[in-house]
């Protein structure tokens, strides 16, 4: 069992290394071969989105809207669309927030959101933002750029 799992893992890594489009999103911290391949399989054609911002809706990473004549509220995330891609992005966002040591603009932004609204909301918000960044990387043909940010004083402790 362990041998076949190891073999499957190597096959996935091999596919991701050979796939040029998959290698670029893997430059985002927390995104590995499985997340990159899952995201590419879920989106299929990046040209079908006029704006990268609309990728979050396809993955169910946008808030529900409750509107009536007098009320306009945001609820929990819709959780519609690609379940596997959403789960993979959530996992990647969690890894970026809690495991990746190197600071980036994304991690600094998510840390501020976590201080205001809690870890779970920050993780979902970061997953949506990572999907937007990964789509833009795919469309532009660029790689992720780390900025020269330092850890905030409250998060460094």
Mean pLDDT by runs of 10 across the 157 residues of the chain is 81 90 92 94 92 89 75 70 90 94 91 94 94 94 75 53
* Per-residue pLDDT, 152: 58
3-state secondary structure of 110: helix
SS3 content of the chain, % helix, strand, coil (to 5): 65, 5, 30
How far is Cα 104 from Cα 112, in angstroms, rounded to an integer? Answer: 13
Read off the pTM: 0.83
Residue 61: the pLDDT is 87
**Of 34, 148, 31, 149, nearest in space to 100 by CA:** 31
Q: Is 81 left (phi over 0), alpha (psi -120 to 50) or beta?
A: left
Predicted local confidence at residue 67, as pLDDT? 73
Alpha-carbon distance of 73 to 78, in angstroms, equals 13
């Amino acid at each position: 069992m362990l041998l076949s799992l190891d073999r499957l893992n190597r096959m996935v890594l091999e596919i991701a290394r050979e796939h040029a489009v998959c290698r670029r999103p893997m430059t985002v911290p927390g995104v590995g071969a499985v997340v990159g391949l899952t995201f590419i399989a879920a989106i299929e054609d990046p040209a079908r989105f006029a704006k990268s911002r609309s990728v979050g809706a396809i993955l169910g990473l946008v808030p529900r809207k409750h509107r009536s004549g007098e009320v306009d509220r945001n609820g929990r995330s819709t959780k519609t669309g690609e379940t596997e891609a959403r789960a993979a992005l959530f996992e990647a966002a969690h890894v970026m927030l809690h495991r990746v040591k190197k600071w980036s603009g994304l991690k600094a932004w998510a840390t501020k959101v976590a201080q205001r609204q809690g870890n779970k909301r920050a993780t979902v918000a970061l997953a949506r933002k990572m999907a937007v960044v990964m789509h833009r990387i795919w469309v532009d043909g660029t790689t992720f750029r780390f900025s020269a940010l330092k850890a905030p004083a409250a998060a460094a402790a």
